[in-house]
Chain A
């Protein structure tokens, strides 16, 4: 496996203006067009019915495959079960030889791309043509598709025209798209009419009757399954469904999510060999076409029997997870390296092409969970990526840097703070402006390009807590253990102080167990579950020791880790399992806890007018914890502020934990978009409920000298106590 220079590949894509323009326009239009195609439909009910049907299908995949095979055979088709790409190729070359096949047309087969089938045909002097317009153009240029549904989305009409010229050896005007379409029609029509064999994939295969279904707009699949005398179906096990009726569950979502259409132009079902006519010795004859159905494994069956990975069977290849992915819309599909791009592509690559290929670009999922809100099969894509990262680490270990930094530094708070201050004093003194560092010297410069970084607080929250705890109310309503998380502890200690003040104003006793450390997310994020468990145990012990009623954190990522991940980490542990479960139940995200208490105390009432503020939803808070109404209700109830919503308020700001530092080149364009959307509201403050977003957005607003402030919701509330 060749080592890739991902950063270099990303840089090239970011400089590709044609692609950048195409993808940003598409990303803007897609969400609205998708929703329009669902008008009048209960999207959630449709998604759930698809998820259910596919989840049940994978449970009985071996039976389904047997039935499917039996039914294809009963109708006169030949079934071949192929374990991998080589197996498919050998089988196909044999059929080609037996039948004298010299020309092949293809339609709708990602699986054939997965196993590099075209190269095999070409090497054996068999002419093979893709017939989907986009794939045909891409194949002429020797490129790979950059999207599963729109393979040529990264190109403009002039680049497409160049591919036409290469194939047709004549001048093709790039401004005339209809002319190109007609040229493609004429050229490919001859390919269809002369082909000896047609190869299709399948959007689904029906066990009860052996039929396959194909969803296309151009109609090429209908021609591939009609004109040649041999039809080969290359279908993965994940496409099998029990009944014809079940196809509806796919068909009501796939076109809407894939191309924002209620239905594509053609949905075709082929069941067994069907009639074909051709001229024999100058006379027309009719006979049954030969049909070969190849069931492709290539890692799929192992995935089907894997308790976590079996969820990939819920994928219908609509590519909507790419369409909403903030990273894909910046870097395009090619950097994912294989055929399947985006989040689901990363997973499929890991399962079908090996976990080592996956690891080379698995960083590109920032865990923002936007894809989980649109996926028709409701696949928890970021969770499956996390699981694959864990498996990679189990197999190959953690990069030493990550592990020793975590063990020695993040877990040792005193050392961490000293180190940060020391690093800060080098960088900070000459470069500081207010609370931000504008520039960093030498190789750190990339981090401050496009954003300022916050300075390190001289006194961390843990240093301030003993004094703050003295102000606890005498007759406390509840005992709250405050879990600060790293950012609030060392960078936004002022915000930490405000969290304590707001909680105390609600009659809470706030305590800060000093033995708490990093929640463990950074190390869990790179896949090191064992070190993550150590951090979890340390925190559970530390917070349990003060016997709190509630554990509050003002960082939604910590909240998610503490309340959800800890339980999962120990689910098979008889001792720590129940302990973690009890712990997790007590964990609350700051703004939702405060909103609940405000409401109980009759303080959650709307007020009118004041300073314009806008609110940015953190990914982990909105899509991880499902919290987005509560902070808005708090802002509405705060006198002197008026909330104005920004465009794409819940789109990732680009920080995503350490991603924003590691991939500054991808992070900064996301930040710039966020800053533009904030500026457009006319707000003077951007309110957040997440320290990571606060660091990123604050840095962007400062870098651009917008004069707009960033505040944590705890700051806004505390200012008006």
Chain B
């Protein structure tokens, strides 16, 4: 998958600025923005959480990105498919099924404590449609990759952003254009579900 930066921790992260201690602020602010947060110890627990979460939606079609870069995720995606659930991970398949898919699964590079935002590298077309077109967007992020505020986030992005498409996602799509009443899911997802993995190298 095409990315702004192939390896954010190695090339973009600034030492001392990325720290698990900002998790609490991230979780609190992300929830305030109506994101649903699950923190899990490792990918094994993540897979169970994902399957539990998906039950609510009984998805017929899932589109998922991030498997190319992360073989553990690829494994999880392959095990989501059932007789009634199709999972698409190849880019043209994703493009074909994005308008009808029920759930999109994607990844984020790090989180921001101040705002509860996920920083996403969306250079590829498939990453963008996966996170935007279905009603449900599940996002995997490393729970230790957290920064304090938007200033530090932009410093990190500034190190590697030379071309492409990236940004922040903070909760689901929302509008208050009618009588200032908050409504979710106007153009993008109405559910943003974050699965934060504490120990990416752990049991999977």
Which residue of B155, B164, B186 contacts A274 across the interface (Cβ within 8 Å)? B164
* Listed stretches B74-82, B116-124, B193-201; interface member: B116-124
Interface residue A151 (Cβ < 8 Å from any Cβ of B): yes
Closest A residue to B114 by beta carbon equals A262
Q: Are B162 and A134 in contact, with the CB atoms below 8 A? A: no
> How far, in whole Å, are A153 and B181 apart by their CA atoms in the complex?
11
| B146-204 interface (Cβ within 8 A of A) | 149-151, 153-155, 157-158, 161-181, 183, 185-188
Q: How far is the CB of B151 from chain A (nearest CB, A)?
A: 4
Q: How far is the CB of A138 from chain B (nearest CB, A)?
A: 9
Interface secondary structure of A, over-half rule: mixed
Kindly state whether residue A410 has any CB partner on chain B within 8 Å: no
Contacts A152-B177, A262-B115, A269-B167: A219 and B187 contacting too (C-beta < 8 A)?
yes
Q: Are A271 and B162 in contact (CB under 8 A)?
A: yes
Cβ contacts A111-154/B at 8 Å (1 or 0 each)? 00000000000000000000111100100000000000011110
Given the contacts A150-B176, A177-B181, A218-B174, A275 and B2 also touching, CB distance less than 8 Å: yes
CB of B33 within 8 Å of the partner chain:
yes
- CB pair B178 A269 closer than 8 Å: no
Distance of B68 from chain A, by nearest CB (Å):
15
- Determine if B57 is an interface residue (Cβ-Cβ < 8 Å): no
Task: Please determine whether B174 and A226 come into contact, CB atoms closer than 8 angstroms.
Answer: no
Q: Contact at A275–B154, with CB atoms within 8 Å?
A: no
Tell which of A134, A211, A262, A265 touches B174, judged by Cβ atoms closer than 8 Å: A265
Interface residues, chain A, with chain B CB atoms under 8 Å away: 22, 26, 75, 131-134, 137, 150-153, 155-157, 160, 177-178, 180-182, 184-185, 188-189, 192-193, 209, 211, 213, 217-220, 222-223, 225-227, 243-249, 251-252, 259, 261-272, 274-277, 284, 286
Given A226-B125, A245-B155, A263 and B99 contact (CB-CB distance below 8 Å): no
With CB as the reference atom, state the residue of chain A lying closest to B29: A262
**From B151, which residue of chain A is reached at the shortest CB distance?**
A248
Whether the pair B161, A271 counts as a contact (CB closer than 8 A) is: yes
Q: How far is the CB of B189 from chain A (nearest CB, A)?
A: 8
**Residue pair A263, B33 in contact (C-beta under 8 Å):** yes
- Nearest B residue to A267 by beta-carbon distance? B168
Chain B contacts of A264 at CB under 8 A? 170
Complex CA–CA separation, A350 to B113 (angstroms)? 41
User: CB distance B178 to A157 under 8 Å?
Assistant: yes
A275 touches B178 (CB 8 A): no
> Which residues on the B side are within 8 Å of A261 (C-beta)?
33, 170
Complex alpha-carbon distance, A157 and B179, angstroms:
6
| Contact, CB under 8 Å: B125 / A274 | yes
Return the chain A residue nearest B186 by Cβ.
Answer: A218
B37 contacts which chain A residues (CB < 8 A)?
Answer: none
| B135 and chain A: residue at smallest CB distance | A185
How far apart are the CA atoms of A223 and B2 in the complex, in Å?
18
Residue numbers in B under 8 Å from A219 (CB-CB): 132, 173, 186-188
Tally the A-B contacts, defined by beta carbons under 8 Å: 182
Closest beta carbon of chain B to A660's beta carbon, Å:
30
The complex places the Cα of A226 from the Cα of B161 at a distance, in Å, of 18
Distance (Å) between the CB of B4 and the closest chain A CB? Answer: 8
Contact across chains for B180 and A153 when beta carbons are under 8 A apart:
yes
A265 to B120, CA, bound (A): 12
Known A245-B155, A247-B154, A275-B2; judge A150-B177 contact (CB<8 A): yes
* B residues in contact with A155, CB < 8 Å: 178
Closest to B158 in A: A244
Q: Which residues of A contact B2 (CB under 8 A)?
A: 275
Q: How far is the CA of A115 from the CA of B192 in the complex (A)?
A: 37
Q: Assuming the A-B contacts A244-B158, A272-B164, A277-B91, are A217 and B125 also in contact, with contact meaning beta carbons closer than 8 angstroms in the complex?
A: no
**B164 (CB) vs chain A CBs: closest residue:** A271
In the complex, which residue of chain B has the Cβ closest to the Cβ of A249? B151
Asked if A217 contacts B174 (CB within 8 A), the reply is: yes
Give the chain B neighbours of A131 by CB distance below 8 A.
187
- A193-B99, A211-B161 are known; give 5 further A-B pairs, CB within 8 A: A177-B179, A181-B175, A248-B155, A262-B116, A267-B167
B128 proximal to A (CB < 8 A): yes
The answer to whether A217 touches B173 (Cβ under 8 A) is yes
Q: Name 23 A/B residue pairs within 8 A (Cβ), A-sorted.
A: A22-B180, A132-B177, A133-B177, A137-B177, A152-B178, A184-B186, A217-B175, A218-B175, A218-B186, A218-B188, A226-B128, A243-B158, A261-B33, A263-B33, A263-B116, A268-B122, A269-B165, A269-B167, A271-B164, A272-B164, A275-B124, A277-B91, A284-B92
Q: Which residues of B contact A184 (CB under 8 A)?
A: 186
A153 to B167, CA, bound (A): 28
Task: Judge whether A244 and B157 touch: CB under 8 Å.
Answer: yes
Q: Which residue of B lies closest to A49 (CB)?
A: B151
Structural contact, B175 and A133, CB atoms closer than 8 A = yes
Q: By the criterion CB–CB under 8 Å, are A286 and B151 in contact?
A: no
Closest 8 CB pairs of A and B: A219-B188, A134-B177, A244-B158, A263-B115, A248-B154, A284-B92, A268-B167, A267-B168
* B115 surroundings in chain A (CB, below 8 A): 262-263
B96 is an interface residue with CB less than 8 A from chain A: yes
CA distance A268 to B168 in the complex (A): 6
Q: What residues on A are CB-neighbors of B122 within 8 Å?
A: 268
B-side contacts of A265, CB under 8 Å: 33, 169-174, 188
**B79-106: contact bitstring with A at CB < 8 Å (1 yes, 0 no)?**
0000000000001100110010000000
Asked if B73 CB lies within 8 Å of chain A CBs, one says: no
* Nearest chain B CB to A284 CB, angstrom units: 4
B125 contacts A286, C-beta separation under 8 Å: yes
CB distance from A438 to the nearest CB of B (A): 40
- Known contacts A131-B187, A222-B132: does B181 contact A263 (CB below 8 Å)? no
Interface contact B178-A133, CB-CB below 8 Å: yes
CB within 8 A of A275: which of B125, B157, B181, B186?
B125
Q: Is the CB–CB distance between B95 and A277 below 8 Å?
A: yes
A245, B32: Cα distance in complex, Å: 26
Q: How far is the CA of A300 from the CA of B81 in the complex (A)?
A: 56
